[in-house]
Structure 1
Amino acid sequence: MKSESRAAQITTQYLLFLDRHIDDVIQGRTIEFMAIDAIASELAITAKHLSYTIQREKGNHPGYFYNQKIIAKAKDLLINSSLSIAKIAFLFTYDASNFSKFFKKATGETPGSFRKSLHCATILEK
């Protein structure tokens, strides 16, 4: 059995760290999102090495995956909770306006229109 390359290990560790860290922020166990250099430090590598490795392994900068995981978690909350968009924004350490801009930049639609389109689709399915 071939062992996983160091680059693959770093990539896996980074993505798992993001999952735990984002959950910690949402659950209030951590008060803010860590910068990439702080995450790299937690993984005992330099930010430059982390960036190079993730870019080479996955084709995008570490920040891309950070944002994608945040958006995925936000979508999950928008779909599966009745929390207001302002409350969801707060959980992600954003004010409602900046969260809306961040979400729209990543998805092409505002959190409100995302939630509304899902509710309309759910009603049509019934």
Structure 2
Amino acid sequence: MEKDENTPKKRSTEITERYFEFLDRHISDVINGETSDFMELNQIAAAIAVSHNHLTDTVQKETGNHPCHFYDAKIIDQAKHLLLHTNSSIADIAKMLTYDPSNFSKFFKKFVKQTPGQFRKENKK
């Protein structure tokens, strides 16, 4: 009986881990120019061989957050890294992340509460 109770947990943990691993590779591929655009969540689900609904339900149950929360957070983390560790212009960083510079600034500010320029100025050493 215990084994049956643990099996779904292990499967959901595996799906969640595969999602996070896929996101890391995919975001890196976008930044490195190996792929031209970010995938939609349904495309990511298909790539890791689960349905969109199953991925969403599983990640949400495992973590308490929707998969998009982590997708956006990982993109923001990469944006912060690029802002602090490169001399690339904000417009170039936006393009690396497949954003129009204006939309990138809005996206960034929504999560960080600062524009990319403010963030860079206050945090770059």
What TM-score, normalized to structure 2? 0.92
1:105 aligned partner:
110
The letter for the 2-side match of 1:49 is H
Unaligned runs of 5+ in 2: 1-5
1:31 aligned partner:
36
State the identity as a percent. 51
User: After superposition, where does 1:34-45 map in structure 2 within 5 Å?
Assistant: 34-45=39-50
Shift of the alpha carbon at 1:48?
A: 0.1
The equivalent position to 1:73 in structure 2, one of 72, 75, 78, is 78
The DSSP-based 3-state class of the residue aligned with 1:106 is helix
2:3 aligned partner:
none
Quote the Cα distance in structure 1 between the aligned partners of 2:81 and 2:50: 31
The DSSP-based 3-state class of the residue aligned with 1:68 is helix
Quote the Cα distance in structure 1 between the aligned partners of 2:41 and 2:98: 17
The DSSP-based 3-state class of the residue aligned with 1:5 is helix
Post-superposition Cα deviations, 1:59-111, rounded to whole Å, max 9, x if no partner, equal 10000000000000110000100000000000000111000000000111110
1:53 aligned partner:
58
The DSSP-based 3-state class of the residue aligned with 2:36 is coil
The DSSP-based 3-state class of the residue aligned with 1:82 is coil
The DSSP-based 3-state class of the residue aligned with 2:95 is helix
Quote the Cα distance in structure 2 between the aligned partners of 1:36 and 1:111: 25
2:18 aligned partner:
13
Quote the Cα distance in structure 1 between the aligned partners of 2:26 and 2:123: 27
Quote the Cα distance in structure 1 between the aligned partners of 2:114 and 2:99: 17
The equivalent position to 2:96 in structure 1, one of 91, 95, 113, is 91
Q: CA RMSD in A?
A: 1.3
The DSSP-based 3-state class of the residue aligned with 2:84 is helix
Runs of 4+ deviating beyond 2 Å: none
Larger CA deviation: 83-92 vs 2-11: 2-11
Unaligned runs of 5+ in 1: none
Quote the Cα distance in structure 2 between the aligned partners of 1:66 and 1:106: 12
